[in-house]
Amino acid sequence: MLRTQISLNAEELRAARLEAKRLGISMAELLRRSLRMLLPADNSRPWMRYAGMIESGDAESSRRIDDVIYGQKD
């Protein structure tokens, strides 16, 4: 991943921080998701348009992806 720097006014920064906190994600992830929605999809990998778009509400879901997708085994 590459690092970049952006400038936001005070209201944009406040709103972004609040939304990131509400979603339980970092500001960087909030901005990445926002860009994914705005930018055209990579036609060679159409499924990537949906990467990061689904939320489980579980901050540990990426570690338990099978449980999230298929449900926990009984």
Residues 3-27: tens digit of each pLDDT = 999 999 999 999 999 999 999 999 9
Confidence of residue 53 (pLDDT cuts 50, 70, 90): low
Q: Is 43 among the domain residues?
A: yes
In the chain, how many domains are there?
1
- Asked whether residue 44 is assigned to any structural domain, the reply reads yes
Residue 63: predicted pLDDT: 75
Q: With contact defined as beta carbons under 8 Å apart, do 19 and 33 qualify?
A: no
Amino acid found at 14: R
Backbone torsion region of residue 52, taken as left when φ is above 0, otherwise alpha when ψ lies between -120 and 50, otherwise beta: left
**Structure confidence at residue 52 (pLDDT):** 63
CA-CA distance, 14 to 20, in Å (whole number)?
10
Tell me the mean pLDDT in the region 41-56: 65
Q: Which domain holds residue 28?
A: 10-70
- Does residue 5 fall inside a structural domain? no
Asked whether residue 1 is assigned to any structural domain, the reply reads no
Distance from C-alpha of 34 to C-alpha of 15, rounded to nearest angstrom: 13
- Is residue 65, in this structure, part of any structural domain at all? yes
19 belongs to a structural domain: yes
Residue 20 contacts residue 26 (beta carbons within 8 Å): yes
Q: For residue 25, is it within any domain?
A: yes
Mean pLDDT of the chain: 81
